[in-house]
Amino acid sequence: MSGVYEVIIVGTGPAGLTVALYAARANLKPLVFEGIQPGGQLTITTEVENYPGFPEGILGPELMNKFRAQAQRFGAICLNETVSKADFSVKPFKIMADGKTYLGETVIIATGASAKSLGLASEKKLMGYGVSSCAVCDGFFFKDKDLIVVGGGDSAMEESTFLTKFARKVSVVHRRDKLRASKIMQEKAFKNPKIDFIWNSEVVDIIGERQSGVKGVVLKNLVTGKTMEKPIQGVFLAIGHTPNSESFRGQIETDKLGYIMTKNGTTATNIPGVFACGDVVDHRYRQAVTAAGTGCMAALDCEKYLEGLH
């Protein structure tokens, strides 16, 4: 079957590269599309201290380079191309990337999710240097600091509550005067003496430099129009995530938010031969180690499927 890959993997975060490692070691010579952010979300963080096996911590980009090198050592072929479309109505499946069409007996989608951002230049500059989208990953670095969490949903409540384990004070900045979060999560946050709320407000600028970190934010009250500067040392964004499933829209079953649906605790999708893993499936855990774990599951599910075919 020349020209047809046994396994095509889309995405190179912890999930995609773990699939690549396992599939390569199973001698399946996987073709891996790196996409617009090779290495995934960890490449925009600095220190990673919660990935097992690195007692001293490791920089996110370095960790992902190690993931890639390990997969390539066993024969994974990494292409620096971005998948724009797929056709799962034909066999072999078609994957379109950078104007070319690739054929695969199986496809594993590991395209992750992107944390929504406020769209500020200062936020981009300071991401990983005092601005974060993951309290579990970065909260530990903010012992006795004053922080803000932006958002009014369950994530904002969960993250602000979690951050009070480390921070001196956490202020939740929300653009309305009512939370979207579930009652129980709201109550927990309201009861926490370290959490206060800044209502009807948005962050219009983040003050700081990469070397010295975040020094404060400029908040705008959306009712009065007034702005004020608030000195804080960390900004946590909890304004939602977008699963990166748009290239597969119409081809595969997703939930209403765009997360790919998998079956019975496996990585199988509604299309036999197409598997999905990592954050494009998971809106609950969103950790590098859980993504890597489901990547391993996808490779094993895929191997079993191919055994049945051949």
Q: Is residue 238 a contact partner of residue 159, using CB atoms and an 8 Å limit?
A: yes
Closest CA to 306 of 96, 101, 107, 12: 107
CA trace torsion 273, 276, 277, 279 (10° rounding):
170
Q: Exactly one of 78, 138, 282, 302 is catalytic; name it.
A: 138
Cα separation, 283 vs 91, in Å, equals 30
The residue at minimum Cβ distance from ligand NAP is 153
Provide the minimum distance between the beta carbon of 283 and ligand NAP in the complex, in angstroms, as a whole number. 5
Q: Is residue 304 a contact partner of residue 297, using CB atoms and an 8 Å limit?
A: no
Q: Mark whether 134 is an active-site residue.
A: yes
> What crossing angle do the helices spanning 288-309 and 14-25 adopt, rounded to 10°?
40
Provide the minimum distance between the beta carbon of 105 and ligand NAP in the complex, in angstroms, as a whole number. 34
**Which residues 6+ apart lie within 8 Å of 168 measured at CB?**
144, 145, 146, 194
Q: Does residue 155 interact with ligand NAP by CB under 6 A? A: yes
Query: Strand pairing of 146-150 and 169-173?
Result: parallel
**Sequential DSSP letters for 82-149:** -EEEEE-SSSSEEEEETTEEEEEEEEEE---EEE-----HHHHHHBTTTEES-HHHHGGGGTT-EEEE
Nearer to ligand NAP, 169 or 283 (CB): 283
Q: Which of 104, 152, 208, 216 binds ligand NAP (CB under 6 A)?
A: 152
Q: Does residue 43 interact with ligand NAP by CB under 6 A? A: no
Provide the minimum distance between the beta carbon of 244 and ligand NAP in the complex, in angstroms, as a whole number. 16
Q: Which of 13, 60, 139, 151 binds ligand NAP (CB under 6 A)?
A: 151
Provide the minimum distance between the beta carbon of 154 and ligand NAP in the complex, in angstroms, as a whole number. 4
Q: Which of 70, 164, 283, 287 binds ligand NAP (CB under 6 A)?
A: 283
Number of residues that bind ligand NAP (CB under 6 A): 18
Q: Which of 105, 123, 158, 303 binds ligand NAP (CB under 6 A)?
A: 158
Q: Does residue 258 interact with ligand NAP by CB under 6 A? A: no
Q: Does residue 180 interact with ligand NAP by CB under 6 A? A: yes
Q: Which of 97, 167, 239, 268 binds ligand NAP (CB under 6 A)?
A: 239
Provide the minimum distance between the beta carbon of 143 and ligand NAP in the complex, in angstroms, as a whole number. 24
Nearer to ligand NAP, 46 or 201 (CB): 201
Q: Is residue 110 a contact partner of residue 280, using CB atoms and an 8 Å limit?
A: yes
Q: Exactly one of 78, 134, 277, 302 is catalytic; name it.
A: 134
Q: Does residue 188 interact with ligand NAP by CB under 6 A? A: no
Nearer to ligand NAP, 202 or 205 (CB): 202
Residues catalogued as catalytic? 134, 137-138
In the complex, which residues of this chain contact ligand NAP (CB under 6 A)?
A: 116, 118, 150-156, 158, 175-176, 180, 202, 238-240, 283
